[in-house]
Amino acid sequence: MDAHARNAYSAVTPRIADAVRKIAGAKNVLVDDDKIQAYSHDETNAEKYGHMPELVVLPTKAEQVAEIVKLANREHIPITPRGAGSGLSGGAIPLFGGILLSLEKMNKIVEFDTANMVIVAEAGVVTNDLANLVQEKGLFFAGYPMSLQTCMIGGNIAENAGGGKAVKYGVTGRYITGLELVTPTGEIVWLGGKLSKDVSGYDLKQLVIGSEGTLGIVTKAIIKLIGHPTAKSDLLVLFKTARQAIDMVPIIMSKGIVPTSIEFMDQLSIITSCRYLNESLPYEEAGAMLLIEVDGTNQDQVESDLIAIGDLCEEHGAIEVYVAEDRNTMERIWNVRRNIAEAFKVYSPVQSLEDIVVPPSSIPEIIPELEVLSAKYGMKIPCYGHAGDGNLHATLVKEPSMPMETWHTAEVACLRELYQITRRLGGKISGEHGIGMKRKSYLKELADPVELKLMQGIKRAWDPNTIMNPGKIFDLADA
C-alpha cells in the first residue's frame, strides 16, 4: 500500500458524515461496520484485497454525486465509485478508506429513443435488465459482457468490459456514444452525445471508458443499440492439439464469416469441466476444443455459415464437429465452457484468475509456456478463453497440498513470468478485467515508461488532489 498517500488523506469525521447526510439524505448514508462490510471487497479475494470504507453513500442524483465529490475534494478525502461490485481486479475497493460512493440507487432508464436507436440509462442500471428491456423491442446492446448477471452499466463502462462476443461485436466502449461525468473536482459534464461521429476535440469520452473510476464518476450513459439477432447456432469442435485449434481462427475469419464467439479450451480445462458436469463428450481424445457461435437475422444464412465453418474445421483435422441448434443443446455445450472456473474451484478454491491478451496467432506459443510454468511452480494452469480475440483466462490454481506461504510467493513469481511472456508475444496483462489494485505492481514493471508517464500526467490534470479512486492502475508516487 502507498503509505505516503494514505497519510495524506483526511479521515471521515462526524462533521463530514453529517455533511454527506445533508447532501444525500440520512437514509442513504451508511457508517455501521456490519452495513458497510459488503462494500469492502469485489469478486477478488476479500481476505487479500478487501479494505473497509469509512462511510458508504448511495446518492440518487448526479447533482448529489457532484456535491459529495466537491466535499471530498475540498476536505481531501478519497472517494471510490462502485457499481455491483462484480469486478475482478479490485477496482471498486476503497483502498484508503474514505467515502465509498455506490451508484446502485441511480438505476433508472432516462430515455428510450428508438428513433436514434439509443437508450439513456443511469449508471446503476443492471445491464442484464437493460438487455432484456431492449430485446422486447427487438433491439440489442451488443456491448453487454454477459458476465455476472448483476453487473451494472456504470461498472461495464469503468472497466470497458469485454466478454465472449467481442470477436464480432467488440467491447462495451464501442456502444457508448455519450456519458455524463462528475469530474474529480465535482463538475458535471456531458461527453459525446447521440452521435455516431464526433471529432470535435479530444475524445474524452473514450478516455473515461476503461479508466476504472480514476477520472471521475459516470452517472449516465447513452448506449447505442442494434437489431437483435434472431437466429444463432453453435459448433463444438474437438481437435487433437491446441495448435490445430488455434490455427483454425484465422482460417475461419479469412473466409468472410465473423463468428459471434470463438472460445478456446485446453485439455486440462475440458477434462476438469466435463468430469465436474458428468458430461459424456469423448473429451479424453481431445487436446483442445473450440466453441464457435454464429448469429444473424436470417436462419438460412446462419445455417450455411455454420456448415461452412464446420467443413473448414473437418478439412483441417478436427476429430469431431458437434452441432447445437436448439436452446437445450446450446446450453449443454456452453456449460462445459462456463463451468471451467467453477470446476477448478471444487478442485482448489485458491486461484488467480487472469485475463492476459495476446495477438490471436500467438496463443499456441502460450500453451507450452504455461506447461513450463506449471511444472516450475507446482500449480495447475488451465487455459481457456476468447480465442477469437486473443484474450485468455490462464488461471493459476493452487494444488491443495501446497502450503499457503509457498503459494503466496509462487503466485507472485509465476504471474511475473506469465506477464513477461505475454509482453514478449506482443500482448498485455489484462484484456477485460482491468488493472485495479491487483495488477498495479505488474503494470509498473511491464508498461512502457513513456505510456505510464502520459497516463499519470492525465490523472494529475483531471484529479489535482488525487481523491478519485486513488491507488488504482498506478501510484502517482511512482512518477
Q: Which residues bind other proteins (CB under 8 A)?
A: 235-236, 278-281, 307, 310-311, 314, 320-329, 332-333
From the CB of 308, what's the least distance to other proteins, in Å?
Answer: 11
Nearest-approach distance from CB 312 to other proteins, in angstroms: 11
User: What's the gap between Cα 389 and its chain centre?
Assistant: 14
CB of 303 to other proteins, least distance (A): 8
Of 138 and 349, which has the nearer Cβ to other proteins? 138
CA atoms within 13 A on the CB side of 367: 23
Q: Considering the complex, what minimum distance in angstroms separates the CB of residue 277 from other proteins?
A: 10
According to DSSP H, which parts of 25-165 are helical? 33-36, 46-49, 62-75, 127-135, 153-159
CA distance 446 to 14: 42
Residue closer to other proteins by CB (options 84, 139) is: 139
Residues in CB range of 344: below 8 A, 6 or more apart: 272, 351, 380, 382, 395, 397
| Closest CB to other proteins among residues 279, 371 | 279
Cell numbers linked to 478: 511512482
Distances (CA, A) of 278 to 58, 282, 347, 413: 44, 12, 15, 35
CB of 317 to other proteins, least distance (A): 14
CB of 332 to other proteins, least distance (A): 7
Nearer to other proteins, 227 or 426 (CB): 227
Which one, 196 or 280, has the nearer CB to other proteins? 280
Report the residue number, 323 or 425, with the smaller CB distance to other proteins: 323
Q: How far is the CB of 302 from other proteins (least distance, A)?
A: 13
- In 3D space, the residue among 265, 250, 259, 254 whose CA is nearest the CA of residue 232 turns out to be 259
**3-state SS, residue 284:** helix
**Residue 201, class by beta-carbon neighbours within 10 Å (0-12 exposed, 13-18 middle, 19+ buried)?**
exposed
Q: Are strands 288-296 and 231-239 parallel, antiparallel or unpaired?
A: antiparallel
Between 34 and 326, CB nearer to other proteins: 326
Q: b/e per residue, 298-307, with b = 16+ CB within 10 A?
A: eeeebbebbe
